[in-house]
Amino acid sequence: MPDTDPLTFAAEWHADGRDVAIATVIETWSSAPRPAGSHLVIDAQGNFQGSVSGGCIEEALVAEASDVIASGKARIAEFTVTDNTAQNAGLFCGGHIRVLIEKLR
């Protein structure tokens, strides 16, 4: 079975000369589909592997990663879903997640 760890993809993409950002869950509160330490890796073309939220915020993180790759400056993204809006976001209940996005060097 091939290794599907997102960090493996990041290393391979970087070795191929692609610009890569790594998004890492650093903190969660209440409902969070993925635990702290989960990774999403994104290249400059918007390709990505991994998951930090079960699909709820990955699209927003791809856009954030594009800015991080261009600027080289890490940032923290925060997302909150209230109980009232959770169902629309595909979650079972509300929650909060903080994600560090940094360019792989």
- Domain chopping of the chain, boundaries: 6-103
Q: Quick check: 52 and 39 in contact, CB under 8 A?
A: yes
Residue type, 27: E
pLDDT tens digits, 19-29: 999 999 999 88
pLDDT of residue 33: 76
- Beta bridge partners, 90, equal none
Q: Is the model's pTM score more than 0.75?
A: yes
pLDDT of residue 82: 66
pLDDT of residue 1: 40
pLDDT tens digits, 71-101: 999 999 998 876 555 555 554 556 788 999 9
